[in-house]
Structure 1
Amino acid sequence: MNKAHVTEHLRFALEEQLNTAKIAAKTAHDTATHEESIAETQYDTLGLEAAYLAQGHADRVNECYKEIQLFEAIYNDAVTGTIAVSSLVCLEDDAGTQKWFYLGPAAGGLTVDIKGTTIQVLTSGAPLGQQLLGKQVDDEVSLTLGDVKHSYDVVKVL
Structure 2
Amino acid sequence: MHKQLLQQQVIARLEQDMQQAEHAAMTAYETATHEENIAENKYDTLGLEASYLATGQARRAAAIRQTLANWKQLVVRAFDPQLGIQLGALIELSDDEDRRQCLLLGPDGASMKLQQDGRTVQVIGPQSPLGHSLLGKQVGDEVTLRLASGVQLLEIVRVG
Q: TM-score, length-normalised on structure 2?
A: 0.90
Please name the residue that 1:75 is paired with.
75
More deviation in 102-111 or 87-96?
102-111
Change (3 A) 1:75 1:110: farther
Q: Deviation at 1:76? A: 3.1
Q: Deviation at 1:75? A: 3.5
* Partner Cα distance (2:76, 2:153) in 1: 30
Please name the residue that 1:46 is paired with.
46
Please name the residue that 1:118 is paired with.
120
The alignment partner of 2:13 has SS state of helix
Question: What do you get for the CA RMSD once the two structures are aligned?
Answer: 1.6
The alignment partner of 1:30 has SS state of helix
Aligned residue pairs, count? 158
Moved over 6 A (4+): none
Q: Is the 8 A contact 1:11 1:68 kept in 2?
A: yes
Please name the residue that 2:30 is paired with.
30
Indicate the percent of aligned positions where both proteins have the same amino acid.
Answer: 39
Structure 2: which 5+ runs fail to align? none
* Partner Cα distance (1:64, 1:40) in 2: 36
| Counterpart code for 1:36 | E
Please name the residue that 1:85 is paired with.
87
| Structure 1 residues 119-138: Cα deviation after superposition (integer angstroms, max 9, x where no partner) | 22212111111110111111
Please name the residue that 2:98 is paired with.
96
The alignment partner of 1:27 has SS state of helix
**Are residues 1:21 and 2:32 paired?**
no
